[in-house]
Structure 1
């Protein structure tokens, strides 16, 4: 097992495997960055923000849902 060719072959195979894994991870990272870049540009469009309700409207909607839930509980005879 003292054959130097074996050690060189094992080192070359390990280096090639490491290079393939590194390339795959780098490709995935670049794809993820491209996705986030597209998401940021989609939110930066002027018409995109008009479709989202503002914070006060969401709070009011949550309050109305809570009131409805309480009224339904009272109508069903459940103590809160």
Structure 2
């Protein structure tokens, strides 16, 4: 190995840079996943600004849907044609 060509040097530098960027991105990904796990374990997501006694908007929609289905079932049981 008498000499190293400029092409080989450029390829080695590019490969090293790619490896460093990949490792940094992997570290960031792992930290982000850990943050999300901690948020889930704490019992709230990223947008948890509601008070403890107030249900989420999704819960209110589900409750309204269940009430509507219950009204329909009661109407069917009473023999009312919808």
Provide the TM-score with structure 1 as the length reference. 0.53
RMSD over aligned Cα, in angstroms? Answer: 2.7
Q: Scaled by the length of structure 2, what TM-score is found?
A: 0.51
Q: Runs (4+) of structure 1 moved beyond 4 Å?
A: none
Tell me what 2:6 maps to. Answer: 6
| Structure 1 unaligned regions, length at least 5 | 45-49, 60-80
Q: Deviations over 1:27-48 (max 9, x none)?
A: 000000000000110117xxxx
Question: 3-state SS of the aligned residue for 1:27?
Answer: helix
CA distance in 2, matches of 1:26, 1:10: 24
Matched residue, 1:42:
42
Matching of residue 53 in structure 1 with residue 58 in structure 2 = no
CA distance in 2, matches of 1:23, 1:34: 16
1:24-39 to structure 2, matched below 5 A, reads: 24-39=24-39
Aligned counterpart, 2:65: none
C-alpha change, 1:32 and 1:52, in structure 2 (3 Å) is farther
Q: For the structure 1 residues 55 and 38, does the alpha-carbon distance in structure 2 shift closer, same or farther, using more than 3 Å as the test?
A: closer
**Which string of whole-angstrom CA distances, capped at 9 and with x for unpartnered residues, describes residues 2-53 of structure 1?**
x861111000000000001001100000000000000110117xxxxx8251
